[in-house]
Amino acid sequence: MSIINDPSMKEIVIDFCNEAEELFDQLEQALENLEENPSNTKELEKFGQIIDRIMGAAKSIGASEIALFCELGKVIGYKSSQVKDIPLIEVVGAILFDSLHMLRKMVTALKLGDDKSMANLNTKAFATRLTWLSAKFKDIDRASCAVDNLSQSSIDDIMQSLGL
Amino acid sequence: MTLKADIKILIVDDMTTMRKIIKNMLTQIGFTNITEADDGAVAWPMIQNAIKEGSPYEFIVSDWNMPQMSGLDLLKNVRATEGLEKLPFLMITAEAEQGNVVIAVKAGVSNFIVKPFSPQVLKEKIDKIFK
């Protein structure tokens, strides 16, 4: 049973939500800074780093939809930080603002245990939009943005082949 | 070898949620002497002080992506320190990229675990590290 569905782990889920909300404020600040100066793409790199931290914890508690949003946001943030096309960066900023808004709603629903609210968010349509945007940067190589993450067993095989 | 329950463990992760999850798992496995740090930059002086005090950490469980000092940089610091060349160091990450695994192995990681993971997987890795 994942942590999110384990009543005895409710405290950890609430902690996650509180922690995520604090980091959302940092994400919002990064996007506001980008909005003021779209050529300052370091803010997109910062966005990627912060949302990456939320992603790991979301995966660990079993909040898969939140983790997916974070994963797409991370890839878009990291990769778009390397482009110089200002109109595209402005689109990225706007969509990331929207995804942040959606993430806040998802985390609030999780915190309140409000499954109905979560179901009404239509996250799948939004995830499709994020996937479409991330595909715009598919030709950009960037560490920490694996297209296909390896499974633990594949990692174990690599470790073994490297002598561990 | 049978691992002592009171082996001195340091969990390093910037997310409180993750530290709680990992501590919970380690406690389930049977470990009792667990300390936490919220960044590599916090952990590193703790590791150095523990050596000075004659009670060094015996096992480090660290996240990779942290805001001030990454798990990789912490690992490099540890491995560059006399006496810590063999300190068991388990890296935890949400990034399951081949490149990252190779980098971590080259830096001297003892094992590598990908989020999300279960207490069973964590125990397997610990058993492998300390076998």
Interface predicted TM-score (ipTM): 0.84
The total of structural domains in chain B comes to 1
Q: Does a structural domain hold residue B104? A: yes
Judging contacts by C-beta atoms under 8 Å, the chain A residues touching residue B15 are 19, 53-54, 56-57
H or E element at residue B35: strand B34-37
pLDDT digits (tens, 9 = 90+) for B42-89: 999 999 999 999 999 999 999 998 999 999 999 999 999 999 999 999
Domain range for A129 is 3-161
CB contact under 8 A, B15 and A150: no
The domain that holds B40 is classified in CATH as 3.40.50.2300
> Distance of CA B66 to CAs B19, B40, B48, Å?
13, 7, 19
Structural domain span for residue B105: 15-117+124-130
User: A34-74: per-residue pLDDT in tens?
Assistant: 999 999 999 999 999 999 999 999 999 999 999 999 999 99
Distance CA A14, CA A20 (A): 10
- Flag whether residue B98 sits within 8 Å of chain A, measured between CB atoms: yes
Peptide bond into B116 cis (omega under 30): yes
Helix, strand or coil, per DSSP, at residue B112: strand
Distance CA B69, CA B71 (A): 7
Q: Which of B104 and A150 is assigned the larger pLDDT? A: B104
Per CB-CB distance under 8 Å, the chain A contacts of B27 are none
Question: Mean pLDDT in chain A?
Answer: 88
Residue B6 lies in a domain: no
- A19/B contact by beta carbon, under 8 A: yes
Q: Long-range contacts: B128-131, Cβ < 8 Å, 24+? A: B129/B59, B129/B88, B129/B90, B130/B1, B130/B3, B130/B88, B131/B1
Shortest CA gap B114–chain A (Å): 6
**Which CATH number fits the domain that encloses residue A104?**
1.20.120.160
Query: pLDDT tens, A90-124?
Result: 999 999 999 999 999 999 999 998 777 777 777 88
- Tally the domains of chain A: 1
pTM of structure = 0.87
Q: Which residues pair with B69 in a beta bridge?
A: none
Distance of alpha carbon A24 from alpha carbon A111, whole angstroms: 15
- Whether the per-residue pLDDT at A147 is higher than 60: the answer is no
CB B125 within 8 A of CB B93: no
Of the candidates B63, B99, B117, which has its C-beta nearest A152's C-beta?
Answer: B117
- CB < 8 Å to A151, chain B: 96, 114
Query: Does a structural domain hold residue B9?
Result: no
A3 touches chain B (CB under 8 A): yes
What are the backbone angles phi and psi of residue A141, rounded to the nearest 5°? -85, 135
Q: Which of the residues B13, B17, B63, B95 would you substitute to probe the A interface, choosing the one with the greatest number of A C-beta atoms within 10 Å?
A: B17
Q: Let me know if residue B10 belongs to a domain.
A: no
Dihedral (CA of A39, A43, A44, A45) sign: positive
Q: What is the pLDDT of residue B1?
A: 47
Distances (CA, A) of A143 to A28, A55, A63: 24, 16, 24
Q: Which pLDDT band, with edges at 50, 70 and 90, does A160 fall under?
A: confident
